Each structure stands twice: as C-alpha cells, then as structure tokens.
Amino acid sequence: MNSQTSAADSPIPLLDLRAEWAAIGAEIRAALDRVFASQQFILGPEGEALEREIAQLCESQASGSQFSAPPFAVGVASGTDALTLALHAAGVGPGDEVIVPAFTFIATAGAVSSLGARPVFADIEPGTFAIDPARIEERITPRTGAIVAVHLFGLPANMEPILALAARREIPVIEDNAQSLGARYRGRAAGTLGAFGCLSFYPSKNLGAFGDAGMILTASAAAAERLRALRNHGETSRYISAERGWNSRLDEIQAAVLRVKLRHLAQWTAARRAVASAYNAALGGVPGIHTPQSPAGAEHVYSVYTIRVEGSSAERRDRVRQHLASRGISSVVYYPVPLHLQPLYSATVPGRGALPESERAANEVLSLPIYPGLTEAQIARVARAVAEAARA
Ligand SMILES: *Cc1c(COP(=O)(O)O)cnc(C)c1O
C-alpha cells in the first residue's frame, strides 16, 4: 500500500459534508419527494414551516431572567439579500452612510453599496474579530443610516455597548448573523438583538442549503410584513404592489433540505465545540499561536476555527499554511484583504494603516479544518503540523 493512501497522511479537507450526507441523505430524499409530489416550489408550506422553526430556535435560546419573544422570520434568496432587504427596510437609501466593520466578508459592505449607500469602515476588536464599539461613534455623521455588527466565525460581537450607543443616537443596528446561527450573547440568540438579524444558508455555513438561501429576523410585526412584500416585488396582495421590491424568495426545495438539517443542528454544534476545545488544548501552549477567544457571556458556535499566527506581516502565517498543505491539510485565510483595502473601495476610503486591527487580523488569521466527524487523530495531526511550523 502506498503511504499516501494511509490514514496517517490522507488529505484533511477544510470542510467535509459527505459524512453529513451519509447520515441524513435518506431523510433529505424523503423531504424532497414531498416537495416534488406537491409541485409547489415558491412560497409554500416548507418555507413557512422553516420560518416558524428558525423563529422557535431563536426563542428557545433565550435563557436567564430576560424574556425574549420569538422573532418574526422572513425567508429570502440569500444572506446577501437578507442584508440588502433589511438595510432597505431600516430606511437606508442612496447617499446614506452605513457603519460596517472592515474585517468581514465582502457581502456585508456589498449589500450597502447595492442600495446606493456608502459603507463607512470601522476597525475591529482583536479578541472577537467583530466591530469595536469604541470605534463607532467617531464614524457617525448626520447621514448615518445604520450600523452593521457582524458575528464573525461563530462568535457574537460585543453587542451591549453597540446597542446602547445606537439607541442613544437613534440609529438602527443590523446584525450580519450569516456565520453564527445558534450562538448566544448573554443568553439571547445572535440575530435577535438588533432591529434586524440576517442569516445565510449558503452550503458551507453551519446550517447549509443545497444552493443559496437566507432569512431575516425581526421583533417587529410591521417590519416583517413589509419584508414579505419586499421579497416578492412589493406585492401586498396578489398582483398589487405598493412599492418597488425584489424577487428574493427562499424556495421550497431549499426550505425542505434546511428543515431536515435543522433537526440535527444542535448535535452538529456540540460536535464543532468538541473539535474546538480539542484544538484549544493542543495549541494552547504553542509559541506565536493564539487560539480563538470566547469572552464571558458569549457562546461560540465555531462555524470556522480561526487561529492567529503572530507576525508583523503575513509571512509567518503563510509559512504555516504552506507547511499544513505539505502534510495534506487544508486551511484557508478568512479574510486576506480588509474591506477598506479592496480594489472596490480603495478609491473612496482611507488607505493602508487606517484600520490597524483589521489589517493585522488579515495578516495573522488562519482557519483550520472543522466539521462534525473530524476525528481526534485528525485534530492531533493538524495541531502537530501547526506546532511544527510555528517552532520552525
Ligand atoms: C456568507 C456571508 C454573507 C453572505 O451570505 P450569502 O448567503 O452567501 O449571500 C454575508 N456576510 C457574511 C459575514 C457571510 O459569511
């Protein structure tokens, strides 16, 4: 037998959804058969049931003394659309400014730009990788239409000071919760803290569809009703449009797949946490390597497991990544270029050096394989390879 095919150095992908499919493929096929038999593909019972079930998930996560009612949930075609429609519903339009973190996926700012508004980038907190509450107020102007907090990598942003500041200045907060469904902040579900919470069901997210899908959470019945019109050409009743809308609906096939997967989400989240704590234990003492933080009151769901490789440039991090690749281990840099340095925005915003924590994160972060089913032996192999490279 060739040594390349032995378990000891067989490739470890960043994400492997095949075990998931093996476990629940039959359940998903049965759910899809139900949709095929109904021949109803857009705005039907599966989508409505999914909206109810996601709303319940977010309610059941309320704990402690603070009562939290279930939010309204509105399915849309993607996480990006969730952000776009939520921003629009919050009143953001052409010429407005929206404060967003500089270290996030491009869609957070892209949704702002697509409305003719301008993203205003704020730096992040190094511990959470999320927008730094202390860097928001200096960015507020009379044109500020919203603040977007991103719960990055599965960890909620430091919401309390953000919500307090936003309430004082009467600016709506929108949560980009594409990466952190199931995470909690002080007992409350991420995505239910601001005016709108935006979810993505892109296939690689913690709850992934077999295509694109997204959802918006809101505590406001009126806002939910408006979002239902906005996702469907502004229709308030059949063929009657009160305002311009979008075609952005979560279809029945995706909803049926997501409902099956939702039944397993808690178990998968527990498995991710177990992988993360094994990594934390194995990497905790490695010089120059910083494992992800989980501040008191925040419950991390580890949609990705992101370490920092300390360095004044990306060179050390890139060396670790190359070493992992030489051992058959996949890793990825989420995200190599902060948004204020993207070609798309570089002409309109302050350049290099302006947002030091975002720039440092882009040089240091490295996301390691994490998924339910990653074995202890595989985790040990990844950790060993990281330690070898860090000590080299
Ligand atoms: C995935 C993601 C989005 C976009 O979601 P899509 O469903 O791919 O449109 C937005 N923001 C963040 C932080 C994401 O990770």
Tens of pLDDT along 341-390? 999 998 877 788 999 999 999 999 999 999 999 999 999 999 999 999 99
Angstrom distance (rounded) from CA 48 to CA 82: 16
In terms of domains, do 108 and 156 share one? yes
339 closest CA partner among 326, 329, 354, 325? 354
Query: Taking all residues of the chain, what is their mean pLDDT, rounded to a whole number?
Result: 94
Domain end residue (candidates: 247, 262, 277): 262
Please give the distance, rounded to the nearest whole angstrom, from the Cα atom of residue 105 to the centre of ligand 1.
Answer: 7
Residue 279 belongs to some domain of the structure: yes
Taking only the tens place, the pLDDT of each residue in 114-137 is 999 999 999 999 999 999 999 999
Lining ligand 1 with CB less than 6 A are 78-80, 104-105, 107-108, 150, 176, 178-179, 200, 202, 212, 214
Max Cα–Cα distance, the chain, nearest Å: 69
Q: Which of 239, 262, 285 corresponds to the end of one domain?
A: 262
377 residue type, one letter: A
Same domain membership, residue 216 and residue 310: no
DSSP string, 319-360: HHHHHHHHTTB--B-S-SS-GGGSTTTTTTS--TTSSHHHHH
- Tell me, yes or no, whether 215 and 282 share the same domain: no
3-state secondary structure of 164: helix
Is 274 found in the same domain as 190?
A: no
Q: What does the pLDDT average to over 301-319? A: 96
Q: Which atom of ligand 1 is nearest to the CA of 202?
A: 7
Structure tokens at 91: 């009143």
What residues contact residue 113 under an 8 Å CB cut-off, 6+ apart? 119, 344
Separation between Cα atoms, residue 91 and residue 223, nearest integer Å: 11
97 lies in the same domain as 65: yes
State the pLDDT confidence band at 391, using cuts at 50, 70 and 90: confident
Q: Is residue 316 part of a domain?
A: yes
156 & 301 share domain: no
Q: Is the pLDDT of residue 39 over 90?
A: yes
pTM for the whole thing?
Answer: 0.96
Condensed to tens digits (0 to 9), the pLDDT of residues 232-253 reads 999 999 999 999 999 999 999 9
Do residue 64 and residue 129 come from a single domain? yes
Average pLDDT of the residues in 7-18: 88
DSSP state of 247: B
Please state, for a pLDDT cut of 90, what percent of the chain lies above it.
91
Question: What residues make up the domain containing 311?
Answer: 264-391
- pLDDT value for 11: 95
Compute how many other C-beta atoms are within 10 angstroms of the C-beta atom of residue 203. Answer: 14
Region 146-166: mean pLDDT is 98
- For residue 275, give the CATH number of its domain: 3.90.1150.10
Q: Is the pLDDT of residue 2 over 80?
A: no
Task: Please say if the pLDDT value at position 270 is more than 90.
Answer: yes
Mean pLDDT score, 298-322: 97
Ligand 1 atom at minimum distance from 179 CA:
15
In angstroms, what is the span from residue 283 Cα to ligand 1's centroid?
Answer: 29
Q: Calculate what percentage of the chain has a pLDDT beyond 70.
A: 96
Nearest CA-CA partner of 289 in 301, 298, 280, 302: 280
Query: Would residue 19 count as lying in a domain?
Result: no
Residue found under tokens 């309204």: 72
Reported as type and span, the H/E element at residue 199 is: strand 196-200
